């Protein structure tokens, strides 16, 4: 039995190595995220990593499969700064949605990777659009603390998150006030009470039992929050209103170990200098310009540009479960940030800033130092595009994750072929014959 198990492991290992081809991508416009694009550059991939990025004319060693990228763009893969990949199939169907635990006695201790479904249909949809990795976060249930999210590689065949328990997610503002009992002061005392409980555990104390029932924190939740206080996990806090953001910025001062990340922050531009001085990054969609709530009256399409101009590190993600705001559209959202800079009175991003916001910057925020860039030693997550990836008509022609070329198939492409126009009715399933 041991010999059989060893043989199976060796076979699986050999298969994985075989899939990681030696690849040379030549002739494209190479975006490294570490300097000016290289016209006609050469990217060498070996062993799942980028071996070399060279100028036009760089010799390709023997044994490399060549991908001709003449007239195309070559970039690091897209990293979704916040998403729901693998945790929800249909948001409106509770049995397929594991983002929120509305009746669970646990809150901060919840680990979203326990629900990860590698067969969830949005994963290949994102992959064929150039998304190679994603930050996946929960939604709040009965408490402000939603639990712990994960980092996911979208490589075909992935069965486990790349980094489980990657961060803690918390909501403040209007949603937090509602969950805490109806006001922001109630939300704030719930947050600080939970962190004080975790602080007590860190100092070797026992969980407190002298609180009211509503404020008592489960020992598992307090233990989970010690990771936040030690800086082992970033704390992602969703806040929109400028005054709410200013309040949340107090947390790192009160608890110096906290690595705070703001989410959404639609009025962030109003306090951009304060966010920058605090060294706190922001993950936002950047497409909200309507005052659709009292906490977002100051929403503007120039929010991202003004934050970046103040020196804030900004990544793009999709914080909301809105079917129109999908991670596959992140290059288009980044392109809108570039367009915003060209409008009279608008403040947006340069092309380099916009592309970094959907690749290098989310990697930096979560300490993924080998992702989001093309340089020797970086993970070989590479996309060959038909043109400028921030243009609407561009599509991904080749997607390579960790050195392995990926299938550009999804349920949607398969259905499109199955029901393509011109097929005889006799070829359709029985349900479609009448």
Please list the helix, strand and coil fractions of the chain in percent, rounded to the nearest 5, in that order.
30, 20, 45
- Rg (Cα) of the chain, in Å, rounded? 23
Domain boundaries of the chain, sorted by first residue:
2-75+391-415, 78-371
Beta bridge partners of 65: 23
- Mean pLDDT across the stretch 123-129? 95
- For 176, counting Cβ atoms within 10 Å of its Cβ (0-12 exposed, 13-18 middle, 19+ buried), the class is buried
**CATH top-level class for 2-75+391-415?**
mainly beta
One-character DSSP codes across 358-376: TTHHHHHHTT-TTSSS-ST
* Predicted pLDDT at 325: 67
Lowest mean pLDDT among 173-182, 257-266, 319-328: 319-328
Supply φ then ψ for residue 205, to 5 degrees.
-85, 170
CATH topology of domain 78-371: TIM Barrel (3.20.20)
**CB 139 within 8 Å of CB 100:** yes
Q: Which two tokens stand for residue 55?
A: 């100028």
Q: Which two tokens stand for residue 9?
A: 């492991």
**CB 351 within 8 Å of CB 8:** no
* pLDDT band per the 50, 70, 90 thresholds, residue 18: very low
* Predicted pLDDT at 422: 73
Model pLDDT for residues 31-45, shown as the tens digit of each residue: 999 999 999 999 999
* Predicted pLDDT at 427: 61
* 342: nearest Cα among 330, 331, 351: 351
Residue 51 pLDDT greater than 60, yes or no: yes
In whole angstroms, give the CA distance from residue 322 to residue 304: 20
Residue 430 pLDDT greater than 90, yes or no: no
DSSP single-letter state for residue 295:
G
* Predicted pLDDT at 209: 54
User: Which residues are CB-contacts of 223 (< 8 A; sequence separation ≥ 6)?
Assistant: 109, 198, 201
Q: Which two tokens stand for residue 400?
A: 């390579």
* Predicted pLDDT at 89: 82
DSSP single-letter state for residue 296:
G
In whole angstroms, give the CA distance from residue 368 to residue 349: 23
The four Cα atoms 329, 334, 340, 342 give a dihedral, to 10 degrees, of: -120
In whole angstroms, give the CA distance from residue 392 to residue 282: 25
Beta bridge partners of 26: 42, 68
């Amino acid at each position: 039995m041991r010999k059989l198990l060893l043989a199976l492991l060796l076979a699986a290992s050999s298969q994985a190595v075989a899939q990681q081809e030696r690849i040379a991508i030549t002739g494209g416009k190479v975006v490294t995220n570490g300097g000016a694009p290289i016209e006609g550059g050469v990217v060498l991939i070996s062993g799942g990593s980028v071996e070399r990025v060279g100028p036009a004319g760089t010799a390709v060693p023997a044994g490399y499969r060549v991908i001709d990228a003449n007239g195309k763009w070559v970039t690091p893969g897209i990293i979704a700064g916040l998403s729901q990949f693998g945790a929800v199939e249909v948001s409106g169907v509770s049995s397929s949605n594991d983002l929120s635990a509305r009746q669970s006695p646990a809150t901060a201790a919840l680990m979203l990777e326990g629900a990860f479904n590698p067969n969830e249909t949005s994963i290949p949809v994102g992959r064929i659009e150039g998304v190679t990795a994603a930050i996946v976060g929960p939604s709040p249930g009965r408490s402000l603390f939603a639990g712990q999210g994960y980092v996911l590689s979208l490589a075909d065949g992935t069965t486990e998150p790349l980094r489980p328990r990657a961060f803690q997610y918390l909501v403040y503002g209007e949603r937090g006030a509602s969950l805490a009992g109806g006001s922001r002061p109630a939300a704030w005392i719930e947050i600080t009470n939970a962190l004080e409980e975790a602080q007590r555990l860190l100092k070797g104390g026992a969980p407190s039992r002298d609180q009211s029932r509503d404020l008592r924190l489960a020992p598992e939740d307090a233990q989970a929050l010690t990771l936040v206080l030690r800086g082992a996990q970033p704390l992602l806090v969703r806040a929109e209103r400028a005054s709410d953001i200013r309040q949340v910025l107090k947390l790192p001062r009160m608890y110096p170990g906290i690595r705070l990340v703001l989410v959404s922050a639609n009025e962030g531009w109003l306090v951009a200098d304060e966010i920058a001085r605090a060294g706190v990054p922001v993950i936002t969609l950047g497409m909200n310009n309507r005052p659709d709530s009292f906490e977002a009256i100051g929403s503007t399409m120039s929010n991202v540009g003004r934050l970046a101009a103040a020196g804030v590190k900004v990544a793009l993600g999709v914080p909301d479960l809105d079917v129109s705001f999908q991670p596959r559209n992140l290059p288009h959202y980044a392109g809108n940030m570039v367009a915003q800079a060209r409008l009279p009175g608008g403040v947006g991003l340069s092309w380099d800033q916009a592309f970094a916001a959907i690749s290098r910057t989310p990697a930096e925020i979560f300490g993924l130092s080998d992702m989001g860039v093309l340089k020797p030693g970086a993970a070989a997550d590479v996309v060959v595009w038909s043109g400028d990836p921030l243009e609407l008509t561009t599509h991904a022609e080749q997607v390579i994750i960790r050195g392995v070329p990926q299938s550009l198939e999804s349920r949607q492409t398969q259905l499109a072929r199955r029901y393509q126009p011109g097929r005889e009715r006799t070829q359709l399933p029985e349900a479609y014959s009448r």
